Structure 1
Amino acid sequence: MERNTYRTSQLVEILGVSRDALRYYEGQGIVKPNQNEMNNYRQYDDYDIYTLMVADFYKKRSLSMKEVRKLQIGSEIAELETILKTKAEQLEETIRNQKYMLQKIKETKTFCEELKDHLNQYSIRQLPTYKVLGEFSDFNAFLEYPTILEKMNLTKEDILSKIMRKFTVDENGLLDSKMLIVEKCTAMQKEKMECYLQYPNCIYTIVEDGRYQNGTNDIKYEVFDSTLKWGNEQGYKLKGIAFVNTRLITYLENKERVFLEIFIPIEEK
């Protein structure tokens, strides 16, 4: 029985695929159309159409063309079930990572929205709960950064969000500092025998640092002096520590603008 044949332009209409996609399927060995000797046009038949629909079926279930080609050669249902189980596990992990990234996007977007209300302004706010995973000497101690990498998931976490500067302060200003490796968590996630940062009342502000705003000047003394002055005016007693997070970095004129979030824990009145 003679089978129907179809040109590339007809398959584009029948299956809704592009010419490039058909070339890709052909290059991957999924289909092997004949060529008309008269005009050198590719000729697909009914089986080719069915094969392309099956390839699309499995492509939409996350199988690679290599895996589809292997199925074409022949496989038992149990083997297919194993492949699909693996694909499901991989997709579930991808979804978890995407949800994590979506949460980070929302947090950064919220920070952008709140920036104008808190930049160089003071209020009282709770420090989010952080689990302390380790520490190192200084932000610019880059040779110590492998210590950070050991404590993070490189596929979804970034270094800036894993580090927090801790200052020791008194009524006269800064005394010393060190860097903490941290992980944001909730009270429900707290575990025994672990170290956590948890302060319900802190002087809170956002300041801009970076070369665009301050050149190479170190603004931390000026910032803490003004913040501590405000705290003294309000009658707040300091706990003697302060925490600084890098929350946002943008650029103007090829110079970075760094927005820092500052928490200075205080005693309850």
Structure 2
Amino acid sequence: MYTIGQVAKFLGVSRDTLKYYEEKELVKPKYDDENGYRKYNPYDIHDVITTNFYRELDIEIKKIQEIKQSKSVTDLEHVLAEQEAKILEELAYKKRLLKKIKSVKEDYYKIKEHLGEFTITEMKPLEVKGEITEYAAYEEYETIRNSTENLKKAVTLTSARRVIHFDEEGMKEERFIVVRKIEDADKNFKGEVLSHPKCIYTVIEDGRFVNGEKSIDHEVGERLLKIAQDNGYELTGMAYINILLTTYEEGLERVFLEMYAPIK
């Protein structure tokens, strides 16, 4: 027979955990009538080991109680199958999170390399999944949520694109589209596909830390026109703007935007 302290040391669990198992009647050590101490026999220790195993599988206490009261191995099979499905779902979600982290890291490197600079590059294919009135049309965000790989708690705006049309006199019109990146092996798309083989690409900065609450709309077209004029490019008169990353300085947001402007 073993004391609670010995069992805790054997199995690497706390006394509180063992007391909790007792409270939930998952293990029932006998009490020494003389001193009132718990005494664990080998069967009790086995119960603790089994309970720890089920807890490691993230099976809730109520389910473990049901398993212990069951007379059928089939009942355990059902519990394990249910837990397997939950774990597989969680793994799939973790993969989405890892993919999102990788994407954000790539965006960070874009900022380091292209902020205030420009290059000529391809705008890779995007499938148009819908439109929203504007970024602040929060009641329309369901379109964004339904058209991207969902996170559990966050609405991500990286799938929203602001499309502007402009000329030498300034911005003419704009719209906001929701898009999905088309992977190389992806053939399963139904919506309009946007792709431009040659674009002026640059990263610019916005947000209250940089501009207060001032709009930079007039600067966007001017900046693109100047790049084109200085380098002999002919613009099509449109641009796609996407939020890459938002960070904060002195409690005010710094918003980094990437911009693709197709050229002829």
Common fold: TM-score over 0.5: yes
> Residues of 2 paired with 1:20 and 1:130: CA distance?
55
* Higher alpha-carbon deviation: 33-42 or 201-210: 33-42
Matches within 5 A, 1:49-68: 49-68=45-64
Matched residue, 1:86: 82
**Distance in 2 (alpha carbons) for counterparts of 1:207 and 1:220:** 12
Task: Provide the aligned length of Structure 1 versus Structure 2.
Answer: 263
- Give yes or no for the alignment of 1:249 onto 2:259: no
Q: Which residue of 2 aligns with 1:226?
A: 223
Could you say which residue in structure 1 is the equivalent of 2:163? 166
Residue 172 (structure 1) shift = 4.2
Q: Distance in 2 between matches of 1:207 and 1:29?
A: 62
Q: Call closer, same or farther: CA 1:110–1:258 in 2, change over 3 Å.
A: same
SS in structure 2 opposite 1:207?
strand
1: CA distance, partners of 2:180 / 2:164: 18
Distance 1:178 1:45, change over 3 A: same
Q: Which runs of 5+ in 1 are unaligned?
A: none
Asked if 2 retains the 8 angstrom alpha-carbon contact of 1:162 and 1:181, the reply is yes
Contact 1:97 1:156 in 2 (8 A): no
Aligned pairs (5 A) from 1:183-194: 183-191=180-188, 193-194=190-191
- Could you list the per-position Cα deviations for residues 34-82 of structure 1 after superposition, in whole angstroms to 9, with x for gaps in the alignment? 4445554433332221001111222333322222221111242333223
Map of 1:21 onto structure 2: 17
Per the TM alignment, residue 138 of structure 1 is displaced from its structure 2 partner at its CA by 1.0
Residue 139 of structure 2 is matched in structure 1 by 143
What secondary structure sits across from 2:18 in the alignment?
helix
Measure, in 2, the Cα distance between the counterparts of 1:38 and 1:238: 93
Structure 1 distance, partners of 2:238, 2:23, is 63
Paired residue type of 2:45: I
Q: Which runs of 5+ in 2 are unaligned?
A: none
SS of the residue 1:63 aligns to = coil
Query: 1:64-116 deviations in whole A, cap 9, x for unaligned?
Result: 22222211112423332232222222222211211111111112122223322
Evaluate the alpha carbon distance shift between residue 128 and residue 19 of structure 1 in structure 2; reply closer, same or farther with a 3 A threshold: farther
- Separation (CA, whole Å) in 1 of partners of 2:169 and 2:119: 20
Q: Aligned residue for 1:239?
A: 236
Q: 1:117 aligns with which of 110, 113, 119?
A: 113
Q: 1:162 to 1:26 in 2, by over 3 A?
A: farther
Once residues 116 and 172 of structure 1 are traced to their aligned partners in structure 2, the CA distance between those partners, rounded to angstroms, is 31
Match of 1:30 among 2, 26, 31: 26
Percent identical among aligned pairs is 35
1:174, distance to aligned residue in structure 2 (A): 2.0
In the aligned structure 2, how far is the partner of 1:197 from the partner of 1:157?
26
Deviations 1:167-187 (A, max 9, x none): 123354421111111222314
Deviation at 1:244, TM superposition (A): 1.0
